[in-house]
Structure 1
Amino acid sequence: MALTVEAILGLLDEPSRGYAETLLTNAPPPPYHRYGPSMMRAVFDAKGVPESTSKGLVTSESIVEKDGTRVPVRCYREVLDTPAPALLYMHGGGFVLGTLDGVDSLCRRLAETTGCVVVSVDYRRAPEHVYPAAADDCLAVYDWMLTDHERLGDRPDRVALAGDSAGGALALSVCTSLQQAGRGLPRCLVLAYPATSASFRGASWEAFALAPVLCRSDAEWFWDSYAGPEVRDDPRAVPEVSAELGSLPPLLVLWRRSGRTPLGLRTLRRDGECRGRRRATTDDAGVLHGFITEVDAVPAAREALEDAAAFVRRFTRLDP
């Protein structure tokens, strides 16, 4: 039985509850997909790059794929004098929403705390560009990081991948592509509540079908917009069906769980557990889906960022 919105709000910590209440007050009533992609982007996509006290270098690039497609990226670097490890970040947003600006604060902090050259990719979004557009874009940027490393200033032998929600699925897609081609894998993965499954059954989805920010009907619409039924058996599209993911590099899965309920707010709990139970995981109490990007406002996001940074430092600074 689905919890009411009021009951779900009662499970949140104070910063997350405030964010959810503001969204519910200022945005049209969910589910949001009924308003179409343009309205959803007007509500959720970040407007403008946040102010930062970072002393590092932030640059914009444009990667050209073999078919001539240009993929914008934003690069963050704190270590300027020597080659540094690299981290490719893929933003969330259900393959439909999300921008470079929306993860700007997070990527700046990742550059500061990991010492990596952080590359944030502005992949093509659905429904205008369906699978495999986003997956191809992320793989192309990963290859660029390996081949153009002298100009970028990164160490091609010390690359990590990270992503939240749909970005987590795209990070796993990169790994599947590499394994299918018999290529080496990145040093490690950090996935925040990754969307690994296109199925929406189970106790968590039932309980939190009306969850603020991401309800079940919106989640179903996101997947249908990106990868329809005809490609649901493609492991690059839906990580859950990939046989190659049994041999992933070291993996940290960040999800959220409330201590006041066995289920918590894990509407993507089943997805994370598909891969996370065999690897390192952290649980963040009383927060919403999407919390990791709110590093300027939500303490749990900053704590999760510290866990992620320590994990990346551990595996990207090993000797080759």
Structure 2
Amino acid sequence: MTTGGTTNRGKYETRLDPALWAYIDSVNAWYPPEIIGLPIDKQRDVYDRMCRAFHQGRPAGVKASDGLVAASGHGIPIRHYQLAGKAARAMVLYFHGGGFILGGLDSHDDICAEICSGTGFDVLSVDYRLAPEHVHPAAFDDAMAAFAWAVASDLPLVLCGESAGGNLAAAVAQATRRHIRTAIGQVLIYPGLGGDESAGSYVEHAEAPLLSVGDIAFYCDVRSTKKQSPDDPSFSPLRDSDSCGLPPTVIITAECDPLSSDGETYRDRIVSAGGKAWWHEEKRLVHSFLRARTTVPAAAEAFARIITAVAVLGRGEWPYL
């Protein structure tokens, strides 16, 4: 859901620092809020151009190869990142953001490469099917197929996703928690998990820069079938009545983001069920801050925390007390 938003600074004028505003203005220059009214293919063209403009390149030593995961009736494009000359201790299964309608292997290429470089782990990025051509559960089904492929590698697996990808990672964690092979951890970055839209950050930050509740409703509607049940946990992970057996979980959200409360609620559910979960709200940041990691110090610090979380979980450790 790394799109849209509002050009009216309102209460955020002084709440966000100038470097972050420069990033927000740059995003809105490439991908203005009103673009949400254009046909999806036009939105994708503009979004892809924006992603290319923000691309930071891959760190030295990271190599990537593309392939396909066989699924029912189609192949799922994947990109496998590896650190040259180093045997990985774990694999990260990464699901990109984009509101379930945007993005792919290229849109988050540098982010995946940096996770690989920062952890030494293999990273597998998944180009799941997008709406509206493929409504729910197409993306979830592709995520599950990618999970099955990844666990066959015999490397310990960490699920990771941002925004819409965080939704998919959480849904996969819930669907596979009782499998013989399951993830040893998950890191969710400002995920949309289907929380209570009448309270918390959904109200406090309903018109936050780069993501509004109106944007969220649009993406949800495009992704849905005509008879989509809001209680389907593979669609909205927070609608699952059972939070037992989930892997150790780290959730990183942005303070000025309507989705932030989803992270807190998800943390509380896992802990109440006897699991391990840690939620951290990054103060004075907004949705999509990963792309600001090279220009905004607070975003750089947040990304460093994400890298650390992936590395720690991949080693089977839990220092979050």
TM-score by length of 2: 0.85
Equivalent-residue separation in structure 2 for 1:318 and 1:219 (angstroms): 34
Maintained 8 Å contact 2:260/2:281 = no
Equivalent-residue separation in structure 2 for 1:61 and 1:82 (angstroms): 20
The alpha-carbon deviation at position 209 of structure 1 amounts to 2.4
Maintained 8 Å contact 1:62/1:70 = yes
Amino acid at match of 2:11: A
Question: Residue 230 of structure 1 corresponds to which residue in structure 2?
Answer: 228
Maintained 8 Å contact 1:9/1:20 = no
SS of 2:131's equivalent?
coil
Equivalent-residue separation in structure 2 for 1:22 and 1:82 (angstroms): 39
The alpha-carbon deviation at position 107 of structure 1 amounts to 0.8
Question: Residue 184 of structure 2 corresponds to which residue in structure 1?
Answer: 187
Q: Which runs of 5+ in 2 are unaligned?
A: 1-5, 272-276
Equivalent-residue separation in structure 1 for 2:34 and 2:258 (angstroms): 15
The alpha-carbon deviation at position 203 of structure 1 amounts to 4.0
Equivalent-residue separation in structure 1 for 2:166 and 2:198 (angstroms): 20
Equivalent-residue separation in structure 2 for 1:10 and 1:44 (angstroms): 28
Maintained 8 Å contact 1:31/1:215 = no
SS of 2:90's equivalent?
strand
The alpha-carbon deviation at position 50 of structure 1 amounts to 4.5
Superposed CA offset, 1:175-209 (max 9, x none)? 12213x64443111100111001653224223322
Please, what is the CA RMSD of the aligned residues? 2.5
Question: Residue 167 of structure 2 corresponds to which residue in structure 1?
Answer: 169
Percent pairwise identity: 29
SS of 1:218's equivalent?
helix
Amino acid at match of 1:114: T
Question: Residue 200 of structure 1 corresponds to which residue in structure 2?
Answer: 197
SS of 1:40's equivalent?
helix
The worse-fitting range, judged by mean Cα deviation, of 200-209 and 119-128 is 200-209
Question: Residue 27 of structure 2 corresponds to which residue in structure 1?
Answer: 23
Q: Which runs of 5+ in 1 are unaligned?
A: 150-155, 258-264
Maintained 8 Å contact 1:50/1:104 = no
Maintained 8 Å contact 1:3/1:210 = no
Q: Work out the number of aligned pairs and report it.
A: 301
Superposed CA offset, 1:265-292 (max 9, x none)? 0311221112124421223222220112
* Alignment pair present for 1:119 and 2:124: yes
The alpha-carbon deviation at position 79 of structure 1 amounts to 5.0
Question: Residue 287 of structure 2 corresponds to which residue in structure 1?
Answer: 289
Maintained 8 Å contact 1:89/1:120 = yes
Question: Residue 52 of structure 1 corresponds to which residue in structure 2?
Answer: 58
Equivalent-residue separation in structure 1 for 2:176 and 2:65 (angstroms): 27
The worse-fitting range, judged by mean Cα deviation, of 291-300 and 120-129 is 291-300
SS of 1:77's equivalent?
strand
* Alignment pair present for 1:271 and 2:262: yes
Equivalent-residue separation in structure 1 for 2:209 and 2:39 (angstroms): 18
Quickly say closer, same or farther: Cα 1:255–1:318, change in 2 above 3 A.
closer
The alpha-carbon deviation at position 222 of structure 1 amounts to 0.4
Equivalent-residue separation in structure 1 for 2:241 and 2:253 (angstroms): 23
Question: Residue 215 of structure 1 corresponds to which residue in structure 2?
Answer: 212
Equivalent-residue separation in structure 1 for 2:159 and 2:63 (angstroms): 20
Equivalent-residue separation in structure 2 for 1:115 and 1:81 (angstroms): 7
The worse-fitting range, judged by mean Cα deviation, of 294-303 and 214-223 is 294-303
Maintained 8 Å contact 2:100/2:223 = yes
